[in-house]
Amino acid sequence: MKCIHCDTEMITANMETEIPSGSVFFLWNKKKGISNPMRKSPVTVYVCPECGYIELRADKPKILIIEK
């Protein structure tokens, strides 16, 4: 994937929090109500080694769709 700012090839990277529990970064969506499950998708992080631009992409975006 090319960087949209400088056209350099982007690389994958890891992103984490300072929480010592080893948190995983993910997107989530949930229909209102306590009995409805949370829908989660892992995220892939891309970074441009030239300009530092970061892009996040959902690995399973369709799982986040909530039917009304």
On whether residue 2 sits in a domain, the answer given is no
Query: Token digits for 45?
Result: 């992080």
pTM here is 0.71
On whether residue 3 sits in a domain, the answer given is no
On whether residue 39 sits in a domain, the answer given is yes
> What residues make up the domain containing 50?
11-64
On whether residue 4 sits in a domain, the answer given is no
Query: What are the tens digits of pLDDT across the range 5-48?
Result: 999 999 999 877 666 655 667 788 888 888 888 888 888 899 99
Give the span between the Cα atoms of 1 and 47, in whole angstroms.
10
Residue 68 has pLDDT above 80, yes or no: no
On whether residue 6 sits in a domain, the answer given is no
On whether residue 1 sits in a domain, the answer given is no
On whether residue 48 sits in a domain, the answer given is yes
Total domains in the fold of the chain: 1
- Neighbour count for residue 3 (Cβ, 10 Å): 19
Q: What pLDDT sits at residue 17?
A: 66
